[in-house]
Amino acid sequence: MVEHVEEIVVALSSIPNTGKTTLFNRLTGSSQTTGNWPGVSVKKKVGHFPLGEYKISLVDLPGAYALSPVTEEEKVVRAYFLKTPPAIVLNIIDARNIYRCLGQTLQMSMSGLPMVVAVNMMDENSQLDIPCLSTHLGVPVVPISARSGRGIPELKQTLYRVIEDPERTHIPHISCPPILEAVSRALSEKIIPGGPLAKMNANFLAMRLLEEKTLPQSIRNTGMENCIKKWRSQVEKSTGEAIAITCAKCRFNAARGLVLEATHQKPPPPDENSQRIDHILLHRWVGLPLFLLIMLLLFQVIYGLGAPLQNFVGQGFDAAEAWLRVQPLVSRQSDLLQSFLFDGFWQGLGVVTAFFPIIALFFICMSLVEASGYMARAAFLMDNLMHRLGLDGKAFINLLLGFGCNVPAIMGTRILSSHHHRVITMLLVPFSLCTARLQVFVFLTTILFSAAVAPWILFAFYLGSFIAIIVIGLFLKIIRMAGKSEPFIMEIPPYRMPTFNNVWLRTWRQLKDFLCQAAPLIVAGVIVVWFLTYFPADVPAAGAESWAGQLGQFFSPLFHPLGIHWQEIVALLFGFIAKEIVVGALAVIYGGGDLSNQIIQHISPLQGLSFMVFTLFYTPCVATIAAIRIESGSWTVTLYSFFLGLAVAWVASLLLYQSGLILGFS
Amino acid sequence: MKKTDCKFSRQPGVECIIHSLGSDEMIAQRLAQMGILPGARLHIVRLAPLGTTIEVSVDGGQSFAMRNSELVALECEIVAIPLTAVDGPPHTTYRIHRLAGGRTFRHRMEARGIEPGCFIKILDQTGSPIRVQRLDQEEIVKLGRGEANKIIVKVTGG
Ligand SMILES: Nc1nc2c(ncn2[C@@H]2O[C@H](COP(=O)(O)OP(=O)(O)OP(=O)(O)O)[C@@H](O)[C@H]2O)c(=O)[nH]1
Ligand SMILES: [Mg+2]
């Protein structure tokens, strides 16, 4: 007999950086699944843990300051609460600074949803009067330390009690200007909340309608629009400010009183250690060089350590392939099937696993940087530069690490603070010269140019890559690709020791996402390329008569002004699998023999340059495309990136080749 | 009410009190939701090396980074500035508000009689060292520019 277990949804909510994810990890371990919100690239994490006879499904939401959103993240949080209200809200307060958190807590508690408040980081400030907070908030309050695990059993017990008896939570009263109170009461009488909203307080819903000009249709009844508009302007005229601001003021006035009651001793002074460290790390002159040094170190750790690991995995794969090929079961199969298995499917798997070591290292390093608090400092240091591209300083780290490999850099855009920044960064990262492209350039430049010139050409490519990122960034800013940017007011948290648990769960989760979501796309992409080069079946693979060859010839008029022949177009097609394959593909296409000689015969130095410029900018490899697809959650952004790359590559190669011809090079 | 003067607002050590959140609705709403409301005290902690980004701390606690454009949108009254930024006539008296350095700096200053709450008269501000005198003491204290930068005095003189 299957036992009937009731699943209870509990949602974590608080302002940013209070320890939601730490608590989430502590309660659920590694048993979580991630889902995507439609349209937005914010991941909703859901994890499960048992509580008595119930099965709790815990939802980790991004931090939000209020339910009337300013940022994209907050829109997501608001939409979550209004569309699928959870059974219980688990609100978190940072014990070091309860005032800042209480504004959001008070707003959540007005919703009428059953709520439990956890005061986190009690290890840093243990002098709070918890019963007093509980009395005034009208909800159970539990002191915990998510990092050390103190208070977690009590928190679970409290949750259990609230599940059993949800009526015990009360809605606190917050005084606001009489006119606002009157209007919201009148409006609340008109609301007939249906469906999931039925359990919410009508007054709270009325406030949502008044505070916001754009609200999901769900609460709004038709015919109320005009009345809301009239009332809103009435209130705003009398207070002289937006209702959202008036409400925030009222909440924080209440919060201030509560802070005074709940703290009997002077609050702990701001962290002196952080100040001392910042004095050096954010120093006017020393700060930037230290930042670059740290970045260099990260780069070395990720790619210096990652590349040998990658090779190692690659060799393992090749060995396994060689072993598989001679197995009677396999070698008895038809040519077609064998080719499909090895040149298509197996190679796709190889591409996927090759990314594992660097993705793991990348996220270990990034979690360390983020959890220690240095990420916010890096953003502060680089903000001015990145602001010109319409980004904030954090994006700099992604762009920089993209020079190692685009894939983790794009997956790492998850740390950026807004949807806008994530999309722009995702579109810019593919223009950075990753190590795969570097391999192609090193190979071609040493063949086509003298030893004295080759390094300069490589250097010029790096420079070109930087310039492209800046120019395209400015272009995207001008056309406002990803909407308006948000006001920049970023918290600078104190420095903290990263916890092992957080770092490895984060890394594990990213690897799992990559495996579950990106891997199928990557394998499919590789199979498509295999398909094009293998068929029709009776011609040499990737030869002139194969579909790839025909495709190359079909497009060759378009590439003629760039000095690129159809053979190289086919190689570029292969480069879609992974850019370092371009060289090997050339060898296959030219039909064997000494590759260097073949290349010197077929490609002039100027044509080679043009080809390399095209390789640098054109559509990123299939893994990058897959990463963009998962992180942006949108095919539009993915296609945009695809075609943006092609367009930029075409224009850049054309400019280079034609101006080279005019200047008399060949 | 005095609007934030750009010259001052961009100097570390300056302290001001917010009078109004300004007319940019997005910024005002964001600040209000973060609990930064009229009456809050902002300290300019430091400028980013590349300028225009500023670290401020609110009510002596949480630090925020914001851009100059966000900061000038606020209407604030400056209440304290570093000793080097005062622009009164010579021999004006100021009250020391805060010592912005680390513990060693504070001890060193207190040993010389410079401590929060006391009144000092500036004898010579232009040169280096800067010479000041505590109102209730005879002795003249000489301060380097770096030291004077970390001595924050109230704006409304003695
Ligand atoms: N001292 C202390 N630090 C903690 C505790 N819980 C979490 N932290 C630290 O607080 C920081 C933020 O924790 P997160 O779990 O990432 O916070 P969050 O609320 O998920 O943050 P956002 O997702 O950005 O909103 C991390 O550096 C944690 O190590 C605690 O109980 N005590
Ligand atoms: Mg989190």
Q: Which residue of A has its CA nearest to B52?
A: A384
Total length of chain B: 158
**Upstream peptide bond of B129 is cis (omega within 30 degrees of 0):** yes
What's the pLDDT band for A599 if we cut at 50, 70, 90?
Answer: confident
Judged by CB atoms closer than 8 Å, whether chains meet at A383 and B48 is answered as: yes
Cβ A542 vs Cβ A589: under 8 Å: yes
CA A120 / ligand 1 centre spacing (Å): 9
Supply A433's token pair. Answer: 């010269």
To the nearest 10 degrees (0 to 180), the angle between helices A635-662 and A622-632 is 140
Q: From the options 1.20.1070.10, 2.40.128.280, 3.40.50.300, 2.30.30.90, give the CATH code of B3-81.
A: 2.30.30.90
Contacts of residue A130, Cβ cutoff 8 Å, sequence gap at least 6: A119, A141, A142, A143, A262
Burial B99-113 (b: 16+ CB within 10 A, else e): bbbeeeebeebeeee
Q: Count of CB atoms within 10 A of residue A185's CB?
A: 12
Contacts of A65 in chain B (CB under 8 A): 30, 33-34
The answer to whether A385 contacts chain B (CB < 8 Å) is yes
Residue B6: pLDDT band (50, 70, 90) is very low
Q: Is A241 on the interface with B (CB under 8 A)?
A: yes
Distance from CA of A487 to the nearest CA of B (A): 6
Nearest by Cα to B150 from B11, B22, B55: B11
Residue among A14, A21, A363 to mutate when testing ligand 1 (max atoms within 8 A of CB) = A21
Percent of chain A, pLDDT > 70? 93
Q: Kindly determine whether residue A282 and residue B46, on different chains, have CB atoms separated by under 8 Å.
A: yes
**CA-based torsion, A103, A106, A111, A116: positive or negative:** positive
State residue A152's pLDDT score.
94
List CB contacts (< 8 A) between B57 and chain A: 270
For residue A353, give both structure tokens. 């696993």
Asked whether A507 and A367 are in contact (CB, 8 A), the reply is yes
**Per-residue confidence at A34, pLDDT binned at 50, 70, 90?**
low
Encode pLDDT of A362-409 as tens digits.
889 988 988 888 988 998 999 888 888 888 788 888 898 888 889 999
What is the fold of A6-164?
A: Rossmann fold (3.40.50)
| A-interface mutation test, from B26, B63, B105, most A Cβ less than 10 A away | B63
Is beta strand B130-134 parallel, antiparallel or unpaired with respect to B151-154? unpaired
pLDDT, tens digit, for every residue of A237-288? Answer: 988 888 889 999 999 999 999 998 888 777 666 678 888 899 999 998 999 9
H/E run at residue A561 = none
Residues A446-500: pLDDT tens digits?
888 888 888 899 999 999 999 999 999 999 888 876 566 677 888 888 898 888 9
Q: Which superfamily, per CATH, for B86-157? A: Ferrous iron transport protein A (FeoA) (2.30.30.90)
DSSP β-bridge partners for residue A32: A47
Task: Please answer yes or no on whether A376 and B49 come within 8 Å at the CB atom.
Answer: no
Which among B31, B47, B50 has CB closest to A489? B31
Sheet containing strand B75-82, edge to edge, reads A489-492, B63-67, B53-58, B41-47, B15-20, B75-82, B151-154, B93-99, B119-124, B130-134, B140-143
Q: Given the CA of residue A371, which atom of ligand 1 is nearest to it?
A: 27
pLDDT for B158 equals: 42
Which positions in chain A touch B21 (Cβ < 8 Å)?
241, 245
Higher-pLDDT residue of A340, A6 = A340
Sign of CA dihedral A126, A131, A134, A140: positive
Strand partners, A562: none
Tell whether ligand 1 has an atom less than 6 A from the beta carbon of residue A496: yes
Largest CA distance in chain B: 53
pLDDT in tens, A135-177: 888 899 999 999 899 999 999 999 999 998 876 667 888 888 8
Rounded to a whole number of angstroms, the distance from the CA of B103 to the nearest CA of chain A is: 9
The pLDDT value given to residue A655: 94
> Could you say which ligand is closest to the alpha carbon of residue A93?
1
Quick check: A191 and A202 in contact, CB under 8 A? Answer: yes
| A229-240: pLDDT as tens digits | 888 888 889 888
Q: What ranges in A373-491 are assigned the alpha helix state H? A: 374-387, 394-401, 406-411, 419-428, 435-448, 454-479
Chain B residues with a Cβ under 8 Å from any Cβ in chain A: 21, 24-35, 37, 46-53, 55, 57, 60-67, 70, 102-103
ipTM: 0.89
Cβ–Cβ below 8 Å for B55 and A245: no
Tens-digit pLDDT profile for residues A535-546? 777 777 667 778
Residue A63 at interface with chain B, using a CB cutoff of 8 Å: no
Structure token pair of residue A497? 């020791």
Q: What is the torsional sign of CA A17, A22, A27, A29?
A: positive
Smallest CA–CA distance, residue B157 to chain A, in Å, is 28
User: pLDDT at position A42, please?
Assistant: 58
Helix extents (H) in A191-270: 202-211, 225-239, 243-262
- Encoding tokens for residue A378? 């890096």
**Tokens 């270990």 — which residue?**
A364
Interface of A with B in 287-316 (CB under 8 A): 287-288
A311-333: average pLDDT: 86
Examine the pLDDT at A2 and tell me if it is beyond 70: no
CA–CA distance, A138 with A161 (Å, rounded to integer): 15
Fill in the DSSP letter of residue A589.
H
Set of chain B residues whose Cβ sits within 8 Å of the Cβ of A285: 49
Residue A38 has pLDDT above 70, yes or no: no
A147 lines ligand 1 (CB under 6 A): yes
All residues at 6 or more sequence positions from A346 whose CB lies less than 8 Å from its CB, including other chains: A317, A321, A324
Nearest C-alpha in B relative to A288: B49
Count the neighbouring beta carbons within 10 Å of the beta carbon of residue B145. 13
Whether residue B49 and residue A285 make contact (CB cut-off 8 A), yes or no, is yes
The CA distance from A397 to A411, in Å, is 12
Write down the pLDDT at residue B78.
Answer: 87
- How far is A202 from chain B, CA to nearest CA, in Å? 22
Q: How confident is the model at residue B2, as a pLDDT?
A: 44
Average pLDDT, integer, range A194-198: 74
Q: What is the pLDDT of residue A30?
A: 65
Structure-token match 């800013």, residue found: A477
Please work out whether the CB of residue A177 comes within 6 Å of at least one atom of ligand 1: no
Cis ω for the linkage preceding A536 (within 30 of 0): yes
Ligand nearest to the CA of A367: 1
Q: Could you give the CA distance from residue A425 to residue A131 in angstroms, rounded to a whole number?
A: 46
Lowest-pLDDT range of A305-319, A324-338, A461-475 = A324-338
Whether chain B has a CB inside 8 Å of the CB on A489: the answer is: yes
* Residue among A625, A627, A623 nearest A645 (CA): A625
Q: Is A421 in the pocket of ligand 1 (CB under 6 A)?
A: no
Q: Report the percentage of chain B scoring pLDDT > 90.
A: 15
C-alpha distance from B139 to closest chain A C-alpha (Å) = 32
Atom of ligand 1 nearest to the CA of A16: 25
Which value, in Å, is the radius of gyration of the alpha carbons in chain B?
16
Task: Decide whether any atom of ligand 1 lies within 6 Å of the A561 Cβ.
Answer: no
Do A284 and B49 lie within an 8 Å CB cutoff? Answer: yes
Distance between CA atoms of A594 and A581, rounded to whole angstroms?
17
CB A100 within 8 A of CB A17: no
Helix, strand or coil for residue B97?
A: strand
**Any idea where the domains of chain B sit in the sequence?**
3-81, 86-157
User: In a mutational test of the pocket of ligand 1, which residue from A96, A496, A502 has the highest number of ligand atoms less than 8 Å from its CB?
Assistant: A496
Residues B86-126 pLDDT 10s: 877 778 888 999 888 778 888 998 888 888 888 888 887 77
Q: What's the pLDDT at B4?
A: 44
Q: What is the mean pLDDT of residues A2-7?
A: 63
Task: Confirm or reject contact between A387 and chain B (CB < 8 A).
Answer: yes
Q: Is the pLDDT of residue A182 over 80?
A: yes
What is the average pLDDT across B33-39?
92
Task: Report the Cα–Cα distance between both ends of chain B, in Å, rounded.
Answer: 20
CB A253 within 8 A of CB A246: no
d(CA B99, CA B109): 8
Residue A145 Cβ contacting ligand 1 at under 6 Å: yes
A150 Cα nearest atom in ligand 1: 31
Nearest CA to A299 among A173, A208, A189, A398?
A398
Strands B63-67 and A489-492: antiparallel
pTM above 0.80?
Answer: yes
Q: Do B67 and A488 touch (CB under 8 A)?
A: yes
First to last CA, chain A: 80
Helix axes A225-239, A178-190, angle to 10 degrees: 170
Q: Give nearest CA residue, ligand 1 atom 32.
A: A121
In 3-state terms, what secondary structure has residue A119?
Answer: strand
